[in-house]
Chains A and B, each alone.
Chain A
C-alpha cells in the first residue's frame, strides 16, 4: 500500500489491511485540515511530497514499528489541495491488545512527521499563502522576509 495518495483515504480498506484473527485492538490516528494556524484563519492546505523518498521512508517506519511493537501498521497521506475538514493523514495500528496498538499508532504518526518529506502550504482567508515551517516560530510568508537559516543538518543519515 503506497503512503501517498491524491484521493480520499479509505479507512475501511486500511483497517482490513492490518487486522488479523489474533488481534483484539485497533488504534487509529486521523489528521484533519484545521481552520486555524497561529491565530490566522485557514481555508485550505496544499500538500506536496518527494514521492520516491516518502514511499521508502514510509516503508521503513512501518517495518520498524511492526518489529518494535509487535503490531501491524498502515499509513496513508494525502497530497494535493485539501479543504478544511478533509482528512489529510491516517495511521492505523492493530495488535493483540490496546496498549501496543496505541503506542505504535502514536509512534508512527510522530515518525511520519519527523522523517517523511512532505510539505504543506496554507491558504488563508485574507488571500495570502505561506509554506508551513515547523522550525520557525511563525510561518514564512511567500515572497516575504525569509527566516534565518535553518538548524544545521547532522552528518547522521536519515
Chain B
C-alpha cells in the first residue's frame, strides 16, 4: 500500500526542484518528514532544508504528521510578504 500525494513547492524551493507541483508516493504510514527526505533525494532537492516549513491541506503541520492518500503537501520557504 502506498500513499499518493500532490506536492506544492514555492519560491526558491520550486526553483531547486524545477517544478511548482509534483506527485509523490510514500509507503503507508509515511509522514511529512518522510516526504521531505524523499524530495531531498531528488535532483536539486539536496539544497532543501531538512525541516522546511510545511503545510498539509493548506494548514501548517509539523514533520511528524502522518500523511494519507490524496493529501496536498506544501513546502514553504521563509515567508516574505509585505
> Which of A12-20, A65-73, A92-100, A145-153 lies at the interface?
A145-153
Contact B76 A133 (CB under 8 A): no
| B30 contacts partner chain A, Cβ-Cβ < 8 Å | no
Name the contact of A77 in the complex, choosing from B55, B78, B81 (C-beta under 8 A).
B81
Please tell me if the beta carbons of A114 and B53 are within 8 angstroms of each other in the complex. Answer: no
Q: Is the CB of A152 within 8 A of B11?
A: no
Q: Categorize the interface residue count of chain B.
A: 20 to 34
Name A52's contact: one of B15, B58, B76, B77 (CB within 8 Å): B58
Which residue of the partner chain B has the closest CB to A88? B82
- Which residues of chain B come closer than 8 Å to A31, judged between CB atoms? 82
Q: A53-B55, A131-B12, A140-B12 in contact; A150/B82 too (CB < 8 A)? A: no
Known: A50-B58, A53-B59. A113 touches B81 (CB 8 A): yes
Among candidates A134, A142, A153, residue contacting B80 with C-beta atoms closer than 8 Å: A134
- A117 touches which of B10, B12, B50 (Cβ 8 Å): B10
